[in-house]
Structures are given as C-alpha cells and as structure tokens.
C-alpha cells in the first residue's frame, strides 16, 4: 500500500514484513506489502518485541518466529504476554484451552478488545461461541507472520464491535518465492506430540531480486498440523487437526489473495477450583475422573451425590470443548495509481461446536431441574443408571462479511474511508443427555438423542461500521490526524425452545425475545505525531470507542440472557453500550552507538518507548453470578449491573538493548490503576465498589527477555512477574504476586539437507516449578472466586526444517 509510512488506519497487509530485519525497521512501517518471508541461515538476534514507528499511538509487534522460539504451536495471544501491559494467563503451556485462559490489557478484559486476522474480524473471544473464533483456531501458529498490539486504541478501520481497550491484529505469512517443504516436530512432557508440515509452490517466476514480486505471478502454500498432549493434572488428551491454504496472484497493479482455514479440535477441560471462607476443601487442582468409570460410579452415593466433604469442589466425570471451524476470505488490493488505492475483502465463517460436562445428577439444584421434566420418574435410571448426566451447550455460527477501504493522497493530506458489513446468525441450545452405566460416553464423542432441550436461542445480528480519517502533513516532521467511525448494530434474538417453569434458576418461565438496535454515529479520534531531528517520535492520541451489546442467548452478559421479558424491555429502554474515552501520549526512539560508550560497555543500540494513558470507561456492565458458586452446573440467568464509570491510569515502558550481534535484552514494565467510580445496587442493597480496583488486573507487570547466540547456538531466558490481583468486585479477596522463568534454546544443525535450514529446539517452562493461580474467574461482589492453577515445569524438544 502507498501510505504505510503515514500512520493511517491501514489494511492488514500494510503491516507486513516485521520479521524481515526487524531491528532496522523499528521506527518504520514496512514499505512493501508483497515482500515474501525471508529465510535466514544465521542466528537471529533482532529484538523479539518490535516498537512500531510512524504511529500516533502505542503499537508493539511480535514476530511469528518468536512464538515458535517460546514454544512451537503457542497461541498468538499468549505470545503477547511478553509485551508491556499485557497479562495472559492459562493452565496449559500453549494457552490453547479456551475455558481456562484470561487476558487483560490496561484493565480491559479479553471480551473488551478487538481481534482480526488479515483484517477479518475474529469476534470478542467469548468462551461460548457466538460471533467469532480464537486466533489459534483461525490460523496455524507456525503460519503467523506477526502480531500487532494497539494497547490504547485500535485503528478506526479495525473490524470489531468490542475494541474498547485496543486491538490485537494477527497476520499470516505469504507463500515463499522458492518452492520447498518445511516441517516441525515437537515432543515433550505429558505425551506431547505436535507435527507440522507445509508445502510452498514457489513463485511462477522463480528468480527475482526486487523487493516486490513481478507482475503476473502466483504462488500458494498448503500446511497441516496435528497436535496431541495430555493434560498435566487429569487424564485427557487435548488437541486436534488444522489445515491452512493460501494463494496469491500478482497482476500489474493488483494483488489477489485467497485464504482458507479448517480447524477441528476437542479439548477436555479441568474444572475451576471454588474458593471462599465457608469452603473447607479447596484443592490446588480439580481433576475429572475420566476414564476410570468404575471409580466415577463409586465416587457417588446411590442417589448420584458426590461426597459431602468435597462441597462445590466435587469431581465431574469429564468436561470438554469441541469446536469445528471453516474460515475463508478473498481479498483484492488495487493500486490505482501512485496516489490512490482501493482494497476489498469478503469472508465467510462457519462454526459447529459444543461444550459438554458429565456431572453428578445429585448436586444442588439438579434434582429440582430434572423433576420439572420427569416429575414421577427415578432420575438415576432415567439418565442411564450411572448417577451422571451430560449437559451440553451446542453452538452454531454462520457469518459472512465485506470490508472495503479507499486511500488517497492529495497534497499534504492523506485520507482514508471505509466500510465493514457483517451478517451473523448464531444459535445456542442447552441440552441434557443420559450417561449410560454400561456404555459411557467419552469426551471425544458427540452425544445424541437428548432427554431434555432446556432452551434454544437463535439470534440474527447485522453490523454496519463506517470510518473516515485524514492525516495532514503540516510540516515534514509534524502530522495531525483526525477522523471518526460509526458503529451500528441491528440484533434480533428469539427462543424457539423456551424453558419450562422451574427449569431456570430464579423462576424464569420465558427467556426474553426482541430487537435491540444501537446506533453510534460519531466515535471521534484525534492524534498528533512529531518527529525530532534525532528521529525520536512524540505522539498523543485521543479516541472514543464502544462495545456493542453481546448477542448471546441465556448465558453471559447479554440482554437476551435476562430472566424475563420485563427485564429485557427495561434494559432496552435504559441501557447504553459500554464506551471508553482514551487519552494516550508517549515518546519512542532508537539509537545506534559506535563511540566510547560502545567501546566501554559493548552496547551498540537501544530502542525504547514510554507511554502514559488515561481512560474514562462509562456504563461498565458487570456480570454477577446468580448462584453462590460462580461456575455452577445449575446456572440461572446472570445479573447485569451497571457500575457506572471506571477510571484507568497507567504507564508502559518498553526497552531493548543490543550488544552487537550476539546479545539483546528486552524489558517491559507497566503500572495500571483501574478503579470503579460508583457503587451499584443489588436489589435494595448497596455494594461498595466505589474506589475499588478492577479485579483480575494486576497493578504491576514486568517482563524481561535475554537473548544470546554463539555461532549455531541461540538461547533465550524470559522472566515474568505478575503483581497481586484482586479476586472480587469489592476487593476483599486477592491473589498474591508470582514470578515465572522460562528458558528456550535453538541449535542450527550442520546438515546440508533442505538448504541447511535444520534446527533443534528445546524449551523449559516454569523452570523454578512455581505453583499458584494462573487464571482468575471473577463473578461475585465478595466472599468467593474460582481459579485455575499454574502449570508445573514442563520440557519440550523439537526439530524444524525448511524455515
């Protein structure tokens, strides 16, 4: 694209090339969207974290190769944890299990951020699918080119309805210009086996040296991965298969790209541990009993009740998330002339999945639910004689969309306008199945013939998003940018299957139906970027964002999950979407040394970014559990509370030091202070949240990464400090800080095969065997919370060839 150096709200490919000589391009946007991925045969000591220049906001990037250095197959979101202000937690080493991961950035949760892949929206990352899919299901980790984090506010052009607190953009690699085969094989702790293979066709004109591919050429790649790993704290094999294909055709002034992703995975889940002062049994982990079905049956009483001393931390037989996704896009990028460009993209996404729990029929609340449907029957025999029942939430998503962006340059003005349209039809059905005492279901099977369909939702949602902005180059070193976006949502929710009276906690007999139309025409953005003679950059950005209402039925912080039609109608009349006004300013710079400092210390370069931010968050909605146990098998309608305003202030510091070509040190330090500004009412009771900190978001984070290489050997040490986190809305309970150390090593093998691109990889995670809490599940004002544990020390060994 023609305006990559002007800090525009850019299409996805304008951020290409970050892994190509990242140290040199720290303060530049990559100039060429079509340059292929280069392969180096020497150890890479460029910074793992890249400070993005020419942007009027804080922007950091991580190269895709860094993910594989940390751990092959790592979830791109977990790879961002090394950045300032980012806190990603999960109980599995890859961060792939979607039930037990959490993400906070500057006090905003994962569901308050925006996510894209090559410009395609990925939704808001709810565990219960309704409007997208996770990045690791959208692309094979080994095919990620780079990740870009806009930690304060995302570009106006970002296709998202949830990006209150910034955006995370993932980009796929292009096909390589040379034909060849690449593969990677990883083995390790807990019977891990990850097998990746990719074939690149090479360009139809195989030899060229220009930075851009010649006209009338085409290339493609096909890749496949199979991932298997046993859970470390229970018997369950997590993983699946995934296929990626990408094709690119170059014309004289046009680039045509097509991408297809298929993902099929089944991930057994451990249960979160319940904590409260009233609970006497709170283990470090809460494993399921699968596959020992004989023990599972002995574990229950004759009436299907777990041991009373286990309380809410009883053991289920199994839990699982099954997901099958198809995602595809077609993108046309047209360079009309030297001053104009027009990009158009269409995409489709289909998801079919379920979450299932096989649990005791005698836990509190379930007998009353089942008696609604089987008032005179023996419940144990009705549900197969085992004492267990299988509860599922079954999802489907049918999404399609269109994205169009026009860019032009007229004198000192560089402007862009664009349109995003999406139609999404999602469904969620809650069903109950028998678990046969002689032929029990496994977590890798899909149940059939439900005994109960408790409820079923069908929600149609249409999104229209417009944006326009202009960058005025006042002076060669000073630019002013202004623009706005409009976000319109037209949602209509229906329940073809309504619960019977008594089947939902709180006495709800009919879940709400109806339309909610939200139109926010003016979400402005203003920014200033000043470049000094020394090439330092000072920036300031002011922007307003919103999060549209969640379009999900019966559970979650959604108006279609309220207990009755009256509550829905009141919400529709009085509620406003969450909005945030972000003010961010900072300075970034890069220096290379060849003077006495270098002779005395060996220091040859430094890159740094310092940013300060202030966010006023309005109409904050809290989802409060309707039951004393936050994650309960017997869920009722969630309580939505508007807690008014949240004020966030913080600082981020990113610093990279380079000692020649052999050593580099990165440190990311961040401080965040996010507090509620109001109390809220729970019935007639006032809950004192005013002045309390937003839970699950730590005040202090510090990330340190040391890289070194000697000839064919390269190693990396990463230290991760996560400060204390509050676990309730009133801050009466908290989790202590923890400190983790990870280590990785790469050795370039002396084999000439496959152009010499053969490496041995070794990783140790949680080197010091630290225990504690990783993910917090917050859903109560006080007295209780749920948690998932930190994974123990784990070792992985792998070999890669061809890339």
Residue 41 has pLDDT above 90, yes or no: no
Q: Which two tokens stand for residue 474?
A: 């006042």
> Average pLDDT of the chain?
88
**Residue 58 — pLDDT band, cuts 50, 70, 90?**
confident
Q: Which two tokens stand for residue 18?
A: 């970050």
For residue 498, the tally of other CB atoms under 10 A from its CB is 16
Residue 322's closest CA among 394, 386, 425?
394
Find all residues with CB under 8 Å of 35, minimum gap 6, and list them: 16, 17, 20, 211, 212
ω into residue 286 within 30 of 0, thus cis? no
Residue 13 has pLDDT above 60, yes or no: no
* 3-class state of residue 483 by DSSP: strand
Residue 296 has pLDDT above 90, yes or no: yes
Largest CA-CA distance found in the chain, in angstroms, rounded: 89
Long-range contacts formed by 365-373: CB under 8 A, 24+ apart: 365/505, 365/627, 365/632, 365/633, 365/634, 366/633, 366/634, 368/502, 369/454, 369/502, 369/503, 369/634, 370/432, 370/452, 372/500, 372/501, 372/502, 372/503, 373/451, 373/452, 373/500, 373/503
Average pLDDT over residues 587-608: 87
For residue 557, the tally of other CB atoms under 10 A from its CB is 19
* Local structure of residue 633 (DSSP, 8 states): S
Q: What is the pLDDT of residues 184-234, one digit of tens each?
A: 999 999 999 999 999 999 987 655 554 555 567 899 999 999 999 999 999
Say which residue, 631 or 36, is predicted with more confidence. 631
Percent of the chain with pLDDT over 70: 90
Residue 480's Cβ-count burial label (10 Å; 0-12, 13-18, 19+) is middle
**Residue 642 — pLDDT band, cuts 50, 70, 90?**
confident
Residue 594's Cβ-count burial label (10 Å; 0-12, 13-18, 19+) is exposed
Query: Cα–Cα distances in Å, from 700 out to 164, 429, 666?
Result: 21, 41, 17
Q: Please, what is the Cα angle at 524 between 521 and 525, to 5 degrees?
A: 150
Q: What is the pLDDT of residues 704-739, one digit of tens each?
A: 999 999 889 999 999 999 999 999 999 999 999 999
Q: What is the pLDDT of residues 136-193, one digit of tens each?
A: 999 999 999 999 998 877 788 999 999 998 899 999 999 999 999 999 999 999 999 9
Q: Which two tokens stand for residue 171?
A: 């980009």
What gap in Å lies between CA 479 and CA 8, rounded to an integer?
Answer: 11
Q: Which two tokens stand for residue 223?
A: 């890749």
Q: What is the pLDDT of residues 559-573, one digit of tens each?
A: 998 888 988 998 899
């Amino acid at each position: 694209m023609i305006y990559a150096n002007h800090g525009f709200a850019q299409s996805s490919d304008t951020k290409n090339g970050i892994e190509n000589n990242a140290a040199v391009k720290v303060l530049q946007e990559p100039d060429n969207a079509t340059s292929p991925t280069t392969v180096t045969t020497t150890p890479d000591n460029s910074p793992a974290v890249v400070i993005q220049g020419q942007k009027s906001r804080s922007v950091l990037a991580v190269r895709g190769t860094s993910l594989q250095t940390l751990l092959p197959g790592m979830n791109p979101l977990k790879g961002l944890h090394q950045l300032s202000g980012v806190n990603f937690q999960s109980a599995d080493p890859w961060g792939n299990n979607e039930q037990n991961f959490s993400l906070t950035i500057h006090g905003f949760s994962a569901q308050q951020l925006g996510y894209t892949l090559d410009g395609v929206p990925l939704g808001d990352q709810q565990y219960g699918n309704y409007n997208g899919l996770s990045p690791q299901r959208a692309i094979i980790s080994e095919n990620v080119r780079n990740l870009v984090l806009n930690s304060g506010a995302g570009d106006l052009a970002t296709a998202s309805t949830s990006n209150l607190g910034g955006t995370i953009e993932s980009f796929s690699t292009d096909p390589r210009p040379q034909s060849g085969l690449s593969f990677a094989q990883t083995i390790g702790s807990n019977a891990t086996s990850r097998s990746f293979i990719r074939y690149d066709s090479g360009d139809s004109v195989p030899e060229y040296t220009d930075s851009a591919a010649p006209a009338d050429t085409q290339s493609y790649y096909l890749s496949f991965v199979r991932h298997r790993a046993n859970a470390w704290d229970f018997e369950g094999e997590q993983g699946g298969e995934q296929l990626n294909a990408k094709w690119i055709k170059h014309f004289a002034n046009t680039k045509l790209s097509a991408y297809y992703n298929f993902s099929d995975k089944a991930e057994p889940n451990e249960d979160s541990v319940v904590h409260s002062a009233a609970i006497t049994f709170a283990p470090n982990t809460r494993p399921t009993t699968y596959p020992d079905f004989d023990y599972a049956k002995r574990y229950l009483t004759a009436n299907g009740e777990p041991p009373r001393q286990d309380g809410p931390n009883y053991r289920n037989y199994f839990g699982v998330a099954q997901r099958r996704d198809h995602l595809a896009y077609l993108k046309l990028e047209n360079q009309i002339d030297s001053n104009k460009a027009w990009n158009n993209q269409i995409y489709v996404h289909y998801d079919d999945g379920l979450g299932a729990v096989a649990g005791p029929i005698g836990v509190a609340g379930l007998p009353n639910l089942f008696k609604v449907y089987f008032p005179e029957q023996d419940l144990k025999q009705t549900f197969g004689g085992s004492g267990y029942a299988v509860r599922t939430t079954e999802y489907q998503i049918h999404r399609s969309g269109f994205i169009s962006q026009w860019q032009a340059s007229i004198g000192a003005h560089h402007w862009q306008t664009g349109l995003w349209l999406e139609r999404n039809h999602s469904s969620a059905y809650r069903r109950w199945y028998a678990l046969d005492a002689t032929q029990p279901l496994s977590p890798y099977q899909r149940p059939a013939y439900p005994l109960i369909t408790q409820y079923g939702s069908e929600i149609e949602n249409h999104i229209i998003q417009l944006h326009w902005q202009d960058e005025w180059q006042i002076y060669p070193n000073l630019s002013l940018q202004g623009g706005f976006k409009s976000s319109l949502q037209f949602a209509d929710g229906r329940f073809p299957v309504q619960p019977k009276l008594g089947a939902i906690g709180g006495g709800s007999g009919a879940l709400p139906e109806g339309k909610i139309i939200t139109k926010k025409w003016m979400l402005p953005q203003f920014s200033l970027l000043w470049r000094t003679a020394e090439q330092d950059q000072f920036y300031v950005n002011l922007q307003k964002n919103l999060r549209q209402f969640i379009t999900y039925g019966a559970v979650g912080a959604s108006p279609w999950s309220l207990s009755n039609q009256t509550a829905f109608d009141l919400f529709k009349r009085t509620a406003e979407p969450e909005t945030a006004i972000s003010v961010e300013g900072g300075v970034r710079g890069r220096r290379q040394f060849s003077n006495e400092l270098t002779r005395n210390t060996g220091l040859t370069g430094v890159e740094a970014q310092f940013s300060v931010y202030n966010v006023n968050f309005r109409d904050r909605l809290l989802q409060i559990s309707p039951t004393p146990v936050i994650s309960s098998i017997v869920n009722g309608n969630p309580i939505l509370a508007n807690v008014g305003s949240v004020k966030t202030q913080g600082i981020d510091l990113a610093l990279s030091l380079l000692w020649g070509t052999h050593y580099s040190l990165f440190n990311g330090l961040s401080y965040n202070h996010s507090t509620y500004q109001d109390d809220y009412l729970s019935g007639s009771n006032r809950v004192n949240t005013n002045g309390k900190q937003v839970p699950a978001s730590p005040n202090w984070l510090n990330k340190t990464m040391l890289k070194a290489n000697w000839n064919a050997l390269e190693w990396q040490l990463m230290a991760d400090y996560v400060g204390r986190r509050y676990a309730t809305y009133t801050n009466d309970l908290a989790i202590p800080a923890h400190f983790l150390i990870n280590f990785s090593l790469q050795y370039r093998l002396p084999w000439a095969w496959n152009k010499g691109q053969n490496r041995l990889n070794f990783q140790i995670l949680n080197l010091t065997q630290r225990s504690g809490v990783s993910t917090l599940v917050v859903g109560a004002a006080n007295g209780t919370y749920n948690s998932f544990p930190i994974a123990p020390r784990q070792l992985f060994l792998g070999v890669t060839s061809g890339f």
